[in-house]
Amino acid sequence: MRIIPATIQHIEAVVDIFCSAFESSISFFAPVNLKLKKAFKDVFTLLHLVFGKGFMVAVMGDEVCGYIVMADNIKRLWLGTVFSGFLVKMAAKAIFGAYCLNLSTIFKVIKNKLFYMKFEMLTISCGQLLSIAVLPRHHGKGIGKRLLEAGINYMESRGIKRIKLEVRPDNTPAVRMYEKYGFRPAGRAKDLQGDWLIMVRECS
């Protein structure tokens, strides 16, 4: 199993992993379908454009079985979203039905993102683990740990002194993994689906 920088060719596999790993959370807004996957593909393409080598995948043979996205500077994501025209393009696609989202669902997504922005404003500015997931059939093989190690090493190579993340407090396996790698509880945040536990790691 190898951890390598993601390429554009990996994005569709990453979307499939994301949808498999977070299906219940996604379904809170809309059922997973091909049109919705197009929206996620656009989002992950932007993350790849903005964060480059901070976006990594775990590969076994020819199969992408996990990924991680590390943000060394979250402000670059907001700037990239606005100045690349991404926000306008996504809004237009959503309105004209490319993602199969109705206005009620779009409102819920926007409201949820406002909760996320509040989380960003209430926590110290630092690097961030934006997303990590492993295909369910590959759980228990240590892939998540390898991805997390690679993500931490990348951030330290960039001179990042502090990394934060948010995880559902009832996701005990994930919380324990993060604690093993030096992340400690630093507060709570909330969105439409419930509480988030904010964890922070001080880098060497």
**Would strands 194-202 and 2-5 be described as parallel, antiparallel, or unpaired?**
unpaired
How is the chain classified by DSSP, letter by letter? -EEEE--GGGHHHHHHHHHHHTHHHHHTTS---HHHHHHHHHHHHHHHHHHGGGEEEEEETTEEEEEEEEES-HHHHHHHHHHTSHHHHHHHHHHTTTT---HHHHHHHHHHHHHHHHHHHHS---EEEEEEEE-GGGTTSSHHHHHHHHHHHHHHHTT--EEEEEE-TT-HHHHHHHHHTT-EEEEEEEETTEEEEEEEEE--
Domains: count for the chain: 1
* Residue 6 neighbours by CB distance under 10 Å: 24
Give me the tens of pLDDT residue by residue for the chain, a chain 204 residues long. Answer: 999 999 999 999 999 999 999 998 888 777 888 888 988 898 899 899 999 999 999 999 999 999 999 999 877 777 777 677 776 666 666 666 666 665 455 545 554 554 555 556 555 568 999 999 999 999 999 999 999 999 999 999 999 999 999 999 999 999 999 999 999 999 888 877 888 999 999 987
- The token duo for 22 is 């977070």
Domain around 167: 2-202
Q: What is the pTM of this model?
A: 0.85
**If you search the block for the tokens 């409201």, which residue do you land on?**
111
Domain CATH for 80: 3.40.630.30
